[in-house]
A and B are shown apart, each in its own frame.
Chain A
Amino acid sequence: MRYLPLNENDRVAMLDVIGAKSIDYLFQDVPEKARLETLVDLPKHQSEQAIERHMAKLSAKSVSAGSVPFFCGAGAYKHHIPATVDHLIQRSEFLTAYTPYQPEISQGTLQALFEFQTQVALLTGMDVANASMYDGSTACAEAVVMAKRVTRKSRAILAPGLHPHYAAATQTLASTLDIQIDERDCRPGRDDHVIDHINDDTACVVVQSPNVFGEIIDLAPIAEKAHKHKALLIAVFTEPVALGAIKSPGEQGADIVVGEGQGLGVGLNFGGPHVGLFACTKKLVRQMPGRLCGETVDANGERGFVLTLSTREQHIRREKATSNICTNSGLCCLAFTIHMSLLGDAGLKRLAALNHEAACHLADVIDGIHGAEVMNESFFNEFTVKLNKPAADVVEALAKKGVLGGVPVSRLTEGNEDLLLVCATETSSEEDIHAFEKALTEVLS
C-alpha cells in the first residue's frame, strides 16, 4: 500500500522492541466477541490510476455549473475564483497544518486568521469577527443561542425572508435549549412586519438582507425597535459579495452579524465545505462562540498572533463553554482572505456592481417573458420570479434543455410552488442569459 512506509522487516523489529509476539498482542484489550477475524466486506486496495478512473466516471454523471448556462443561488453562489487562490490554499504548509495551537510554528495560519477577522469586521461594519463557523446556517443558529445568553430572554423572531435552511438549523438547536421561535410565514414582501412582533420578551430578531427572495431590507428601523426592547438584531446574509454594494449591517445597528462566506474564494462544492462568518459588537465579544485570533508580542517584543479568549471555549470551559465548536472552516477562511486581498475595496465594489448589473439585465429579460413576472422591488444579484407553472417542473424542463435555471422556493420549504429564485453573477454571460430566455420562453408557453 503506497501510503504505508513500514515494511515487514520493520514491523517484526518493532514488535520485538515492544516485546510483543504479534500485532494481535496489541489488540488484546478488545473483547473477544468483537475481534474481527477476517477482512471487512469491502474491495481491496487499488492503484491511483484505478481510483482516478472510478471517480472521474462518477464526476461525469453530474452536470457541473461551469458547463451550462447557470442561474442558481439561494445560499450558494457561483463566482469566478482567481487561480492564485486555489494554488495558495494547496500549499502544504497551509493545507496540512493542524489548528494553530503552537503559535511559534503556526504564524502563517494565525496571521491569515487575523487578516480574515479584520476583513470580515470591515465588510460587515462590526467591531470584531471570529475565526469562522462551519457555515452561515450554523453561525445563525449559534447567534440565536448567544442572544439568549446575552439578554437572558428566550424568545426569538425569525424574519419571513430568512433562508429556510438557516431557520431550520436554528430551530433544531433552539428546540433543545428552551428557546421559543415564533411561527413564520416564509413569503416575500413581509420582513418589515417583524417590527410589530418585537416586545419586551424578545431576545433577538433575525433578519436576512438580501433575504432569501433577494429583497434588500432596511435594517435600521428594526434595530431601533429591537434596542428599545433590549433585544438584539441579528443580521444575516448568504452572499458576501452583496456587501460590496449595499449598506453594511453594522451601520444599520446590528448587534450580531452572521453570514455565509462561500461567495468569496470558495467553490460551490455541492453545499460544503463553506465558511460561516460571525461578527459582533465589542461589548459582546466574550459571549461569542468559536475561535478568536489576537495580536500579542513574543519574548523579543516582536508582533505575533495567538488563539485567545479561549476561556469561552469547550477545551477550557467544557460544559460552560459558549459553544461546542472545535474544528471550524480554517482553509476556507484562507481562501476567502486571499480572494478578498486580491479584490480590495475597489475590486469588491466593481465585482458587486457587475453582479447587480447582470441581475438587473436578467430581470428585464425575464419580465418580458409571458408567464414570468419578477416580484422584487429591490434585489442585489438574485430575485424571485412568479411563474404560471410549478417552479419545480419548470426547473426540470429547463435542465432537459441544458439550462440550470434557478431554485424553486418549494425545494427549500413547502408551499410557494409558483416561485422561482433566480441568480445572475459576473459569470453570467450575455450568451447564457440569451439561452435562458429562449429555454424559459419555450417551457412557459
Chain B
Amino acid sequence: MNNEGRPTTPVAINSNERLTVSGSKGLDQAVNLIFEIGTPRRTGVDLPEPKGRASRLGGQERTGEIGLPGLSEPETMRHYVRLSQKNYAIDLGIYPLGSCTMKHNPRLNEKVARMPGFADVHPLQPTSTVQGALELMHQLSHWLMTLCNMPAVALTPKAGAHGELCGMMAIRARLDADGQSQRRRVLVPESAHGTNPATAVQCGFTVDEIPASGDGRVNLDALREKLKESDDVAGIMLTNPNTCGLFERDIVEIADLIHGAGGYFYCDGANFNALVGRVRPGDLGVDAMHINLHKTFSTPHGGGGPGSGPTVLSDALKDFAPLPFVVKDADGFRLVEHEGGEAEGSFGRMCAFHGQMGMYSRALTYMMSHGSDGLKQATEDAVLNANYIQSSLSDVMTVAFEGTCMHEALFDDRFLKDTGVDTLDFAKAMIDEGYHPMTMYFPLVVHGAMLIEPTESESKGELDRFILTMRSLAERAKAGEAESFKQAPVYAPMRRLDETKAARNPVLRWTPPVEE
C-alpha cells in the first residue's frame, strides 16, 4: 500500500526530555544491532561436533570469517522482544490503513497452519502422501469460487501484485491464442494502486490512464472515447470498490464496453472485504480478480508479508491458468505440474512449487469459522464501521466525495487549508494519540488523501474513542496549533525520521566501525 507519504526532513527541536544514562526510558528499552551485541564465535544453538570426514565440496570450501554475529538464546530472545515493543500492531489498537484491511488475526488460524500435515510436508513428496494438503487446497478453491461466482481459481500467486500478474498473463495468453496479439494497451484509472500499472508493464502491455469523474469513479465518456474504433485494447484493470472506497456504479456497463471492444476485465480485488457474501464479482462481468488472502481473509501481515493472491478466472480465461493446479478424480487429488495434456493452454509457471500453503490453511480456517452468514455479517460491519466514521467526521474533516462509502472512508486535506498542518503532520499527531495513522497520500486523485479503513474488527466503543480523537485533532489544527503537529510524534519510540537523508546517502547494511 502506498502510504509512505512524502520524504520528510524533520525539523530540529529543543527536546526538554531528560536523558537517561542507559538510553532506555522505562519500558522503552534501548536496543543495539545484533552486530553490536554478538560475535562470530558465540552461538545460541547446541550442535554436535562434526566428525571431520573427507570433504566432497569440489575444492570450493568457504574459508575465513563470514562475519555473522551469534547470540546466546537469552540474548536473542531479549533482542527481538525489545525490538517487537517498538512496533504498532493490530493486536494493540485500530490500524486504519485504507486499502490494507488490517483486521483481527484469529490465533486458531496460526494453530491450524502449524499442523504437521500442512506445515511439515515437502512440496515434492509423492502426491499419495499429501492428500490432506491437496484436499485443503481444493476446499479453499471451492470457497473462493463460490464467493466470487467464478468457474476457476489459480492458487499459486504469492501476493496481490503476483495475482495481478497472473490475471494479466492469462489475458495476454488468451489474446495471443485468438490471434489478437496487437492488443497491448491496458486501461488503468488514475486512482489505481501503483501495482496495477507496474503489473501491466511487467506483462509487456502499455498503460493508458483513464481520468476519474467528479464523483470519484471512472469517467464513462472518457472510457468510451478510449475504446472508440480501436483494436489494440487488451483490457482494463479496475479496482472495485475503487481506491476511493466507492463502488463503481457503472461497473456492469464498463464490463460490457470492454468486452464489446474485444478486451478483458481485470478487477483488482484488494477491496473484496466490502463485497464478500453480498456481491459476487462473477455477476459483474469480471474476467480475472486476485484476492488478497492477507487482507480479506485475515492471514496476518507479518510486517510486510508473506501474502497470497489467488486469482479467480472466468470461462474465457480459465484454460490459460498457471501451473500447477489440483485436480480431483476417483483416486483422490493430484497435481498437474507439467505443460501439455490437461494444461495445454496454461501460460506456464509463476513460481516454484504450489503457492502459499501456510496462507491457504489460515484463510480457509477463517472462512469456515465465519461461514456464509458470518462472512456476510463481517462485510456489512466493515461497511457500517467505515460509514460511521465518515458520518461522524464529515463536519470537521472534508470527505473527498459525496455520498456513502463502502469499507473505507476517504478524506482530503481541504479542512487543513491555511492551518499550516498537512496530511503528514496530522498522521504523526495521531501516533502521539496512540493510533496508527490511516493511509496517506493515496489515492493520488485527491489532494493530501487520508484513507481510513476500520474493518469489521472494531467495536463501537473503540470507534467512538477514535472519532473523538480525530475530531479533537482536526479542531486543534484549525485552532492554530500547527507547531505541535510539526513536532509530532513525541510519544513514539522515535521522533520523525529523516527520509531524505536515508535516500540521499543510502546506508543499507551494517559495516564495522572504522578504527581511528
- Partner of A378 from the list B57, B302, B459, B494 (CB cut-off 8 Å) is B57
Contact with A along B104-144 (1 / 0, CB 8 A): 11101011101111111111111011111101100000010
With contacts A23-B384, A118-B510, A308-B502 taken as known, whether A84 is within 8 angstroms of B73 at the C-beta atoms is: yes
Interface residues in B416-443 (C-beta closer than 8 Å to A): 427-428, 431, 436-437, 442
In the assembled complex, the CB of A7 is this many whole angstroms from the nearest CB of chain B, namely 9
In the assembled complex, the CB of B269 is this many whole angstroms from the nearest CB of chain A, namely 14
* Docked complex Cα distance between A207 and B502 (Å): 33
Interface residues in A242-292 (C-beta closer than 8 Å to B): 243-248, 260, 267-275, 285, 291-292
In the assembled complex, the CB of A369 is this many whole angstroms from the nearest CB of chain B, namely 18
Binds B, one of A95-103, A195-203, A227-235: A95-103
* Docked complex Cα distance between A145 and B198 (Å): 13
Q: Please state if A96 and B110 are interface contacts (CB–CB under 8 Å).
A: no
Q: Please state if A271 and B123 are interface contacts (CB–CB under 8 Å).
A: yes
Q: Please state if A118 and B509 are interface contacts (CB–CB under 8 Å).
A: yes
B479 in the interface (beta carbon within 8 A): no
Interface residues in A316-330 (C-beta closer than 8 Å to B): 316-321, 323-330
Binds A, one of B220-228, B310-318, B361-369, B468-476: B361-369
Q: Please state if A108 and B84 are interface contacts (CB–CB under 8 Å).
A: yes
With contacts A98-B102, A304-B497, A319-B198 taken as known, whether A131 is within 8 angstroms of B304 at the C-beta atoms is: yes
Q: Please state if A348 and B456 are interface contacts (CB–CB under 8 Å).
A: no
B interface residues, tally (CB under 8 Å) = 211
- The chain A residue sitting closest to B41, CB to CB, is A346
Q: Which residues of A contact B59 (CB under 8 A)?
A: 218, 378
Q: Please state if B58 and A218 are interface contacts (CB–CB under 8 Å).
A: yes
B402 in the interface (beta carbon within 8 A): no
In the assembled complex, the CB of A430 is this many whole angstroms from the nearest CB of chain B, namely 12
Q: Please state if B2 and A270 are interface contacts (CB–CB under 8 Å).
A: no
Q: Please state if A63 and B33 are interface contacts (CB–CB under 8 Å).
A: no
Q: Please state if B305 and A332 are interface contacts (CB–CB under 8 Å).
A: yes
Interface residues in A1-24 (C-beta closer than 8 Å to B): 1-6, 10-11, 13-15, 17-20, 23
Q: Which residues of A contact B277 (CB under 8 A)?
A: 36, 39-40
Q: Please state if A58 and B135 are interface contacts (CB–CB under 8 Å).
A: yes
* Docked complex Cα distance between A20 and B388 (Å): 10
B328 in the interface (beta carbon within 8 A): no
A302 in the interface (beta carbon within 8 A): yes
- The chain A residue sitting closest to B197, CB to CB, is A319
- Partner of B1 from the list A20, A315, A325, A329 (CB cut-off 8 Å) is A315
- Partner of B147 from the list A40, A247, A356, A404 (CB cut-off 8 Å) is A40
Q: Which residues of B contact A23 (CB under 8 A)?
A: 380, 383-384
B230 in the interface (beta carbon within 8 A): no
Interface residues in A387-424 (C-beta closer than 8 Å to B): 395-396, 399, 404, 407, 411-412, 414
B448 in the interface (beta carbon within 8 A): no
- The chain B residue sitting closest to A163, CB to CB, is B352
* Docked complex Cα distance between A101 and B96 (Å): 13
Q: Please state if B509 and A121 are interface contacts (CB–CB under 8 Å).
A: yes
Q: Please state if B70 and A344 are interface contacts (CB–CB under 8 Å).
A: yes
Q: Please state if A93 and B84 are interface contacts (CB–CB under 8 Å).
A: yes
With contacts A3-B457, A62-B131, A128-B509 taken as known, whether A273 is within 8 angstroms of B352 at the C-beta atoms is: no
- Partner of A314 from the list B161, B292, B300 (CB cut-off 8 Å) is B161
Q: Please state if B373 and A44 are interface contacts (CB–CB under 8 Å).
A: yes
Q: Which residues of B contact A412 (CB under 8 A)?
A: 124
Residue of A70, A107, A273 with most partner-chain B CB within 10 A: A273
* Docked complex Cα distance between A7 and B62 (Å): 63
Interface residues in A84-99 (C-beta closer than 8 Å to B): 84, 86-99
* Docked complex Cα distance between A131 and B3 (Å): 18
B296 in the interface (beta carbon within 8 A): no
Binds B, one of A46-54, A150-158, A182-190, A431-439: A46-54
Q: Please state if B431 and A102 are interface contacts (CB–CB under 8 Å).
A: yes
Interface of B is mostly: loop
- The chain A residue sitting closest to B407, CB to CB, is A26
Residue of B65, B197, B462 with most partner-chain A CB within 10 A: B197
- Partner of B508 from the list A54, A117, A299, A325 (CB cut-off 8 Å) is A117
* Docked complex Cα distance between A88 and B123 (Å): 25
Contact with A along B53-93 (1 / 0, CB 8 A): 11111111110011111110100110111011111111110
B174 in the interface (beta carbon within 8 A): no
- Partner of A27 from the list B381, B383, B456, B457 (CB cut-off 8 Å) is B383
In the assembled complex, the CB of B393 is this many whole angstroms from the nearest CB of chain A, namely 11
In the assembled complex, the CB of A403 is this many whole angstroms from the nearest CB of chain B, namely 11
A109 in the interface (beta carbon within 8 A): yes
Q: Which residues of A contact B53 (CB under 8 A)?
A: 357, 360-361
A444 in the interface (beta carbon within 8 A): no
A interface residues, tally (CB under 8 Å) = 213
* Docked complex Cα distance between A367 and B70 (Å): 37
Q: Please state if B117 and A61 are interface contacts (CB–CB under 8 Å).
A: yes
Residue of B84, B307, B359 with most partner-chain A CB within 10 A: B84
Q: Please state if A137 and B61 are interface contacts (CB–CB under 8 Å).
A: no
Q: Please state if B57 and A82 are interface contacts (CB–CB under 8 Å).
A: no
Q: Which residues of B contact A101 (CB under 8 A)?
A: 1, 3-5, 97
With contacts A5-B459, A26-B404, A298-B10 taken as known, whether A62 is within 8 angstroms of B121 at the C-beta atoms is: yes
B445 in the interface (beta carbon within 8 A): no
With contacts A218-B60, A306-B497, A353-B50 taken as known, whether A92 is within 8 angstroms of B129 at the C-beta atoms is: no
With contacts A98-B97, A271-B353, A272-B355 taken as known, whether A108 is within 8 angstroms of B86 at the C-beta atoms is: yes
In the assembled complex, the CB of B91 is this many whole angstroms from the nearest CB of chain A, namely 4
B342 in the interface (beta carbon within 8 A): no
* Docked complex Cα distance between A137 and B348 (Å): 13
Residue of A105, A176, A247, A357 with most partner-chain B CB within 10 A: A105
* Docked complex Cα distance between A56 and B489 (Å): 46
Q: Please state if A136 and B197 are interface contacts (CB–CB under 8 Å).
A: no
- The chain B residue sitting closest to A252, CB to CB, is B60
* Docked complex Cα distance between A243 and B358 (Å): 26
In the assembled complex, the CB of B127 is this many whole angstroms from the nearest CB of chain A, namely 10
Q: Please state if A52 and B108 are interface contacts (CB–CB under 8 Å).
A: yes
* Docked complex Cα distance between A60 and B247 (Å): 43
Q: Which residues of B contact A310 (CB under 8 A)?
A: 4, 503
Q: Which residues of B contact A333 (CB under 8 A)?
A: 304
Interface residues in B358-396 (C-beta closer than 8 Å to A): 358-359, 361, 365, 367-378, 380-381, 383-385, 387-388, 390-392
Q: Please state if A106 and B87 are interface contacts (CB–CB under 8 Å).
A: yes
B415 in the interface (beta carbon within 8 A): no
- The chain B residue sitting closest to A130, CB to CB, is B508
Q: Please state if A317 and B47 are interface contacts (CB–CB under 8 Å).
A: no
- The chain B residue sitting closest to A90, CB to CB, is B110
Q: Which residues of A contact B388 (CB under 8 A)?
A: 14, 17-18
With contacts A115-B33, A297-B498, A331-B306 taken as known, whether A129 is within 8 angstroms of B70 at the C-beta atoms is: no
Q: Please state if B501 and A62 are interface contacts (CB–CB under 8 Å).
A: no
Question: What would 11 A/B residue contacts be, using CB atoms closer than 8 Å?
Answer: A18-B391, A29-B247, A40-B376, A55-B115, A75-B352, A82-B73, A91-B80, A114-B509, A172-B348, A272-B351, A273-B359
Known contacts A41-B372, A246-B61, A380-B57, then 16 further A-B pairs from the complex at CB < 8 Å, ordered by chain A residue: A3-B456, A40-B277, A64-B121, A70-B122, A75-B353, A105-B492, A129-B509, A131-B304, A177-B204, A216-B57, A271-B355, A328-B306, A332-B306, A340-B68, A343-B43, A396-B128
Can you list the 7 inter-chain pairs with the closest CB atoms, starting with the nearest?
A: A344-B70, A271-B353, A378-B58, A331-B302, A59-B117, A61-B132, A330-B304
